[in-house]
Structure 1
């Protein structure tokens, strides 16, 4: 009887131990040791982000390079910032870069009214003929110098008289300009412009009611 009781006790103890082993809670994993400052944790292969989740490569290298300036020049002078800005708008996309520049006028006293140089002497003479036919007098085709093939339309002591002359000519369809040639400190405005290689600066000057285009270093354009 004693042996049977011992056997039964052993069986009960084994069953209890097995039940405890099966029902015990999962052990808590040990905490990861703290890493020194500046040291990154190693990643396993399966922990690394896939290629599809990585940030896209910068597109900066695909940016289009700016168009190189082939020729640069200054147009003007204009008697106001508004007139210079109007010239820039007139030329529009023909200019790759443009900026306005203010400069003091220092020369002989007075104001002159002019027509910008034409493409040829013949064209200038034809314009002069139309001016005369429209009833205007006191004009002269310029044959030499920077304003060659331009038309001088009078010189005045007062700005008001010169402005009236310009207004009358413009009302008659002629692109007359007022140019200060006196009074130190009078402001003039220039349009510093850059265009593509082979651009016709003289043709642009005529469109923009400017005198002959003045050469300009392209580095001067910001």
Structure 2
């Protein structure tokens, strides 16, 4: 009796399993994962497919209700670029004022060397003109602008400086006024003799003093002459010249073979 009951139970179970396999339908594959923020369609389990055209309004509303209420709404991407108006309104940065490069200061030119004043000398005496010319050749480049000068009365003991006689006393007095205005002193008008109305401007015991007086008068614009007296009438020649730069008067005298050297006003060589 018990065995028969177990057989009946097993038959019933087998029938139930067979019915379940027949009625369960095809397995439904899981829907693919959807992107975040997109509503998902959920299929309700039914035993009989319902035609799409026969779907009731309630089914449509049910489909809309299955959309998750908390589904995130896709937000438009936020642009980090400033709006055109903001870009247009933003003032362009003012470029920094260009600072001019400092102008290099040119080095100050070295002051030009001041040339030493010219020195003039008279070398001699020589017995004749040929001897003076030979001395000039021996001196060579130690002398510049050399000139030969003849002294008619070499043995003179006095030298007078005179302005030539004027045509009248009044003319001589007018010349004296010009001499005084030029700052020249030691003068007198000769009143008699062959030098009447001549103006004497000094008497000297040596020729160098007379030469200096002549140079000063020439610089002031007066053409004076020198008159020697007390000599034997013999003539001598002298070599007047400007010393070359860096040349000593003693060296020039030795090279020329002159016995004497005398300082000379360079104005007399012009």
Aligning the two structures, in what range does the TM-score lie when normalised by the shorter sequence? 0.3 to 0.5
User: Max radius of gyration: which structure?
Assistant: 2
Taking structure 1 as the reference length, what is the TM-score of the superposition?
Answer: 0.36
User: Higher relative CO (CA 8 A, sep ≥ 6), structure 1 or 2?
Assistant: 1
